[in-house]
């Protein structure tokens, strides 16, 4: 009887498996190039390309794209799309109500520098800004809180720290948007406590809105079939730090000293926390 030897036939690999990482790297490099352009424009009286607004608009688009591409490496595509839609819809609704009624942020109005409107009075960029802020703040919070990921209250700490990081970004965004780029204007309010025109209630409104968004979006950000644990994803933390660095630089170059000190302090504090826990781990 002849002995039959079965040859090992290698399984065909998925040629598309590496595409998420490829798209992420490509978009991240494009984001860094655009970030460098926007950052360099802050230092000159006659910036490159003049007074055009498209560099900042393109930066928002690329920041959104690289954020979603980063998430797509760890989550199913439908989860990423669902999360972005939920954030955009809730944030768009809240800002539409806010611009019309002054609730919950206070009385303000968008200027023509914000670009085209999706519909009155919502500029196209606001939903994208919220996608970038919420998702990268949550990713940065996961990095900071990773020593406590097994504790019972980790989920609550994650929600709270994410909302806090969103508010910290908003603290830097306000001087950039109102004094540097004039994207929106604050109407005179009764309160005397304001941050470059923004009333204190504005930051409470951003924190509450962030928590509302997280309450709806968190289920779509949980991977039901997680891959084996690997190195932490530092992409959200890098984006968060770069944004605060941009806002701090804008404040510095426009002599908004209080804003530059506060924003650079935020950047240093978050970076210091991460370095501490990284060395401890």
Per-residue pLDDT of 21-40, as tens digits, reads 888 899 999 999 999 999 99
Mean pLDDT on 202-211 = 98
Integer angstrom CA distances of residue 122 from 23, 52, 72 = 30, 21, 28
- Three-class DSSP category at 199: strand
- Residue 114, pLDDT > 80, answer yes
Would you state the structure tokens that stand for residue 112, as one six-digit string? 């023509």
Total-model pTM: 0.91
Per-residue pLDDT of 155-188, as tens digits, reads 999 999 999 999 999 999 999 999 999 999 998 7
**Contact, 169 vs 137, CB < 8 A?**
yes
Would you state the structure tokens that stand for residue 177, as one six-digit string? 């948007």
Determine the pLDDT at residue 11. 45
- Residue 47, pLDDT > 80, answer no
Determine the pLDDT at residue 227. 60
Phi and psi angles of residue 225, each rounded to the nearest 5 degrees, phi first: -125, 70
């Amino acid at each position: 009887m002849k002995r039959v030897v079965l040859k090992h036939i290698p399984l065909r690999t998925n040629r598309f498996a590496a595409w998420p990482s490829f798209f992420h790297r490509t978009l991240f490099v494009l984001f860094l190039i655009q970030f460098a352009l926007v950052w360099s424009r802050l230092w000159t009286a006659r910036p490159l390309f003049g007074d055009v607004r498209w560099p900042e608009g393109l930066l928002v688009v690329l920041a959104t794209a690289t954020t979603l591409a980063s998430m797509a490496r760890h989550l199913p595509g439908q989860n990423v799309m669902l999360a972005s839609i939920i954030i955009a819809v809730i944030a768009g609704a809240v800002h539409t109500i806010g611009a019309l009624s002054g609730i919950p942020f206070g009385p303000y109005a968008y200027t023509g520098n914000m670009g085209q409107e999706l519909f009155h009075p919502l500029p196209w960029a606001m939903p994208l800004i919220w996608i970038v802020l919420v998702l990268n703040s949550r990713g940065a919070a996961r990095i900071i809180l990773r020593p406590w990921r097994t504790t019972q209250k980790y989920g609550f700490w994650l929600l709270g720290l994410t909302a806090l990081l969103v508010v910290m970004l908003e603290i830097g965004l306000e001087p950039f948007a109102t004094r540097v780029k004039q994207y929106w204007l604050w109407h005179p309010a009764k309160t005397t406590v304001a941050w470059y025109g923004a009333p204190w209630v504005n930051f409470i409104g951003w924190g509450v809105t962030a928590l509302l968004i997280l309450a709806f979006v968190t289920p779509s950000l949980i991977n039901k079939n997680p891959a084996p644990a690997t190195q932490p994803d530092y992409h959200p933390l890098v984006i968060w730090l770069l944004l605060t660095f941009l806002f701090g630089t804008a404040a510095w170059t426009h002599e908004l000293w209080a804003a530059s000190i506060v924003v650079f302090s935020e950047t240093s504090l978050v970076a210091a926390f991460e370095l501490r826990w990284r060395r401890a781990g």
